[in-house]
Amino acid sequence: MKQAFEVANTQAGKPDYGIDAPGVIRNLFLAAAIVFAVAIFFPSVRVGSVTFITHPMAWTFAPWLALGGVLMLIYVKWGKFRHRDRMLSLVRWTGAETVLDVGTGRGLLMIGAARKLTTGRSFGIDIWSAKDLSGNRPEGAIRNAELEGVADRIEVRSEDATRMTFPDASFDVVLTNVCIHNIPTREGRAQACREIARVLKPGGVALVSDFIHLGEYAKSFRQTGAQAERAGWFFFDTFPPMGILRVRKPGSIGDLA
């Protein structure tokens, strides 16, 4: 079914940016179904001398679990495109920028940035974890770039955010959305922030969006000498609610943010 859907999208010439955290969405709906099933088939459960009535549990918890899945799907199909545009609007584009999207997935930010460019180039890196995005493969990002008409302005690489191979001061703009929190350790996340600061040109801007750890990221960036400030939290079209951290490396290459 999934492969047929992707083939249909390709034949229709429509970019497919995948489903974020597909396992989480599946588990929310599955947990809601299990809670309802327990209430239907086991209306009461006796534990020792105490009898629990399961219907109140079903009507209390299951709708919230299902609502979480629905809100994540709304973000996947609508919200993440608005959030991408919001992030890109925080850069004063000239068209000549060199851009890096860290954790590019199917290329949403990389391609969005490429559409702002004329002589510039947009790079995307990822380790292609399928649990973070459905169909997470470099071929998917490249195909989307072709469908969006920017294939000549992008480059996709398989790289770890904590060990980038780019030289120092390579990029005018670095973008990343709900990526760094997937690094399991605090030191690993700090290393990713240091790498972003390292590859950023003096005067360049990085926009880091996530739903957790933004204060931690800000501290790591400031320890590199970069400026880091919140650009707001957004509750209407992101789920979980996400914030944006705007980072600027001291120096001057023009006013990008």
Mean pLDDT of 183-202: 98
Instruction: Say if residues 155 and 121 touch (Cβ distance below 8 Å).
Output: yes
> Any residues with CB less than 8 A from the CB of 132 and at least 6 apart, and which?
20, 21, 103, 105, 182
Angle at 63 between CA 61 and CA 64, to 5 degrees: 65
Global pTM reads 0.87
Residue 64, judged by CB atoms within 10 A of its CB (0-12, 13-18, 19+), counts as exposed
Q: What are 146-178's pLDDT values in tens digits?
A: 999 999 999 999 999 999 999 999 999 999 999
Instruction: Name residue 45's beta-bridge partners.
Output: 52
Query: Which CATH superfamily does the domain covering 82-248 fall into?
Result: Vaccinia Virus protein VP39 (3.40.50.150)
Q: What are 75-118's pLDDT values in tens digits?
A: 999 999 999 999 999 999 999 999 999 999 999 999 999 999 99
Q: What are 6-36's pLDDT values in tens digits?
A: 444 444 589 999 999 999 999 999 988 988 7
